Structure 1
Amino acid sequence: MLVKIFGSALFGVSAQTITIEVNVDTGGVGYHLVGLPDNAIKESSYRISAALKNCGFKIPGKKITINMAPADLRKEGSSYDMSIAIGILAASDQIVADNVGDYIIMGELSLDGNLQPIKGVLPIAIKAREEGFKGFILPKQNTREAAIVSDLEVYGVENIKEVIDFFNEGKPLERTTIDTRKEFQEKVNDFPFDFSEVKGQETAKRAMEVAAAGGHNIILIGPPGSGKTMLAKRVPSILPPLSLKEALETTKIHSVAGKMGTDTSLMTVRPFRSPHHTISDVALVGGGSYPQPGEISLAQNGVLFLDELPEFKRTVLEVMRQPLEDRIVTISRAKFTVDYPASFMLVASMNPSPSGFFPDDPNNTSSIFEMQRYMNKLSGPLLDRIDIHIEVQKVEFDQLTDKRKGETSVSIRDRVMKARDMQSERYKDLEINYNAQMGPKQIEKYCGLTDVSQTLIKVAMEKLGLSARAYDRILKVARTIADLELSETIENDHISEAIQYRSLDRDSWKN
């Protein structure tokens, strides 16, 4: 008897429906699994056999042929265990499963029949709804994530026996439903950190505000203990709230990577990723034999914080150059190509020298040669892609002991959102959302300068030796500063402030 069960395979951050054809033939004995399964799927027969035996069923001693179509697409992971098991039971007439084709069935089996959580539940649920499936049967730990997809019945189960009873005896399964918009609104402002906790550092906080308002990449240069990490961790609290579309997009990536908690249905705040400096280039940008999203994709619509930037391997930093420009990562293999989104705000930090202090600090023990070698770890093209360079001075004792609270993240966020609203209106007919995404045409159109401003930036470029890309960065930042003041025109003081945010271009850092 032939039975068709439906599962799903992940391809990038999307899903593709897989038809699992199970044929049980009385003429012969054997277990044949075809359709490009990986080792985890090939081993499923042992898990399925033990799980069914412990639930009062068995794999029949007949010729069993299982085909996973399309046969030319490689299938990965252990999430097909339950699909194959139900298919074997139905094809061998151990259960009645006339309506089994109405559901996507996924789940990894334990030897006692219990189910383990799987990856990529959200894109699978979205695909199931698109293709008109009635419901999605999956491990209970994943139900909240799948239930945010409307118009799809989601059933979470703890043991395969529940699924068998559902098809065989009509015993109902517990359906999981979630009010997605309500849950999203309740948690959209849930932040663990606030800028009011930062003592002093008004210049750095201003630079952070500008960066958040325009989506600009920023690097903080300062001695240990000056508050670089503290500032970086609070950036998500001043960024505009995620839209529901962005939340779903971000959740899909984390779902594919298996980073969603069992009690989480939807990511409601912008992600903050902070990988250690020993990270490999594949772990950062994504890839591998069976490609997975890297840290820059996990930071989609959020913040990627690279602490102690010069300590990262140069190859790791260089592979990040293209995603910083294109906001997408393309992983190419011989037989396929996968695209992962990578639209993130880069926040980096570094010490001014190997000793940790600025060149003019009496405590600085680094020689000129050591400082040059330290700075040379960062390539010019990479620094050109970072719009704002800001020096973070150590906090004075009087500021540190000041009991007064600083400006809250809510206040800063209000200004950032007003600036973003201007940008949304400006770019409503374009495929960009904020100033950092402007290309040459948009810069020419929206960053017009007066003759005085033109002279000012010309002098700065000649004196600092800025590249053409740095020129574009200054104009983008100046546009954002003007937006924060709700000004349609870029004034001289906007240009002056933007130039000040190119610290690493100054001669004192190059010599």
Structure 2
Amino acid sequence: MSLATVYSRALVGVEAPLVTVETHISNGLPGLAIVGLPETGVRESRERVRSAILNARLEFPSRRVTVNLAPAELPKVGGRYDLAIALSILAASEQLPMERLAGCEFLGELALGGELRSVSGVLPAAIRSRDCDRLLVVPVDNSNEAGLVKGCRSGYAGELKEVLQMLVDGTVLPACLPATQQSQDLVKGPHTLHDLANIKGQSLAKRALQIAAAGGHNLLLKGPPGTGKTLLASALPELLPRLSEDEALEVAALRSVANLKLELTDFYQPPLRSPHHTATPASLVGGGVRALPGEVSLA
């Protein structure tokens, strides 16, 4: 078969739309062309994928290889499609069974030696993959993130060879740790925020904090430097109820999209953000060439 299809996920804002990686091998001068609105990072996948396949002791097709990332109108950024592109090339060249790929989605950047490197936005992809009831294969460094989504069938691998063993020999990949097993550690993590009971004085301000937390009101703290405004604000999350499962996943998804480390020890703790007074509008509300969440969204 000279045509193969593999599924992956893009990252657009906080959404992870499906991307179909189509590969066709035809007669002609040897070469690899990637189409479908790829940006520089995706176009550079050609060399990473070629080296990873060769270092996995497999054959890179010596014919014309065309890879299409559909839908074409969706911008493609980064190396998150490397693994899917490599597998689609191997399937199109009949080095992999195509039927094993139908129920899977693949995310991961390939190193030249075939190792899988982590990518951002795995959590939104895991949520959408769960809705489609497909197995999501991610790099080992993203396993904790994918395992936070209950009901998502996910596995992780450290290199391309491990994924090939799963597809060819039926080897079962290690499952990403589900949230039900992590929740005990997540809830009991050490508290890094301040307890309102340990703050001396400021009785009026503490009363205002309690009212704002109980009623869900906005609160403005005003005063000269050194009077305890930041200290009082850091105590507010301890007064708020723990996040629900969906709320915690939404907060974690925003951090994943922003390429920030997930705070698993305070997974159900309401987020607290402390932007500097010189923060730019873009850092507050988000934006940039590649739109990222700002402090408002992260809070």
TM-score, scaled relative to structure 2: 0.92
2:167: which partner in 1? 167
Counterpart residue type for residue 32 of structure 1: A
Which residue of 2 is the match for residue 90 of structure 1? 91
* Cα distance in 2, alignment partners of residues 2 and 43 from structure 1: 22
Q: Structure 1 residue 132 and structure 2 residue 139: aligned?
A: no
1:418-460 Cα deviation digits (max 9, x unpaired): xxxxxxxxxxxxxxxxxxxxxxxxxxxxxxxxxxxxxxxxxxx
Matched, 1:143 2:143: yes
Would you say 1:183 and 2:183 are equivalent positions?
A: yes
Q: Any idea what SS the aligned residue of 2:102 has?
A: helix
Give the gaps of 5 or more residues in structure 1: 300-511
Partner deviation per Cα, 1:157-184 (whole Å, 9 max, x = no partner): 1111100111122222112242438707
Report the CA distance shift for 1:11/1:249 in structure 2 as closer, same or farther (over 3 A).
same
Verify: 1:196 aligned to 2:197, yes or no. Answer: yes
Q: Quote the residue 1:272 is aligned against.
A: 272
Residue aligned with 2:16, SS: strand
| Cα separation, partners in 2 of 1:84 and 1:99, compared to 1, 3 Å | same
**What residue number does 1:99 align with?**
100
Does the 8 A contact of 1:254 with 1:298 survive in 2?
Answer: yes
Deviation track 1:396-434 (CA, whole Å, cap 9, x = no partner) reads: xxxxxxxxxxxxxxxxxxxxxxxxxxxxxxxxxxxxxxx
- The AA in structure 2 aligned to 1:149 is V
SS class of match (2:17): strand
* Partner secondary structure for residue 150 of structure 1: coil
Per-residue deviation, 1:131: 1.9
Q: Deviations over 1:453-495 (max 9, x none)?
A: xxxxxxxxxxxxxxxxxxxxxxxxxxxxxxxxxxxxxxxxxxx
Q: Work out whether residues 16 and 125 of structure 2, in 8 Å CA contact, stay in contact via their aligned partners in 1.
A: yes
Deviation of the 1:88 alpha carbon? 1.0
Contact preservation (8 Å) 1:286, 1:292 = yes
Give me the CA root mean square deviation.
2.1
1:65-464 matches, within 5 Å, as 65-133=66-134, 135-180=135-180, 183=183, 187=187, 191-192=191-192, 193-261=194-262, 264=264, 267-299=267-299
Aligned to 1:369: none
> For residues 245 and 66 of structure 1, what CA distance do their matches in structure 2 show?
36
More off after superposition, 189-198 vs 32-41: 189-198
Q: Which amino acid aligns with 1:221?
A: K
State the structure with more CA Rg: 1
Q: 1:278 to 1:50 in 2, by over 3 A?
A: farther
SS at match of 1:14: coil
In structure 2, what is the Cα distance between the partners aligned to 1:265 and 1:290?
29
Q: Number of residue pairs matched?
A: 297
Counterparts in 2 of 1:257 and 1:184: CA distance versus 1, 3 Å: farther
Sort the Cα spacing of 1:144 and 1:214 in 2 relative to 1 into closer, same or farther, 3 A. same
Q: Per-residue deviation at 1:64?
A: 0.4
Q: Are the aligned partners of 1:114 and 1:159 in contact in 2 as well (CA < 8 Å)?
A: yes
| Equivalent position SS for 2:69 | strand
**In the TM superposition, what is the alpha-carbon distance from 1:128 to its structure 2 partner?**
1.2
| Alpha-carbon separation, structure 1, partners of 2:259 and 2:68 | 26
**Corresponding residue for residue 10 of structure 1:** 11
Q: Is the 8 A contact 1:191 1:237 kept in 2?
A: no
Q: Which runs of 5+ in 2 are unaligned?
A: none
AA partner of residue 220 (structure 2): I
SS in 2 for 1:95: coil
Residues 1:39 and 2:40 aligned together: yes
SS at match of 1:255: helix
CA contact (8 A) 2:185 2:265 kept: no
In 2, Cα distance between the equivalents of 1:189 and 1:140?
A: 23
Q: How far is 1:188 from its partner?
A: 6.9
Aligned-residue offset at 1:43: 0.5
Residues 284 and 295 of structure 1 are in contact (CA less than 8 Å); yes or no, is this contact kept in structure 2? yes
Superposed CA deviations along residues 322-356 of structure 1, whole A, max 9, x for unmatched, are xxxxxxxxxxxxxxxxxxxxxxxxxxxxxxxxxxx
Question: Structure 1: how far apart are the matches of 2:92 and 2:252?
Answer: 36
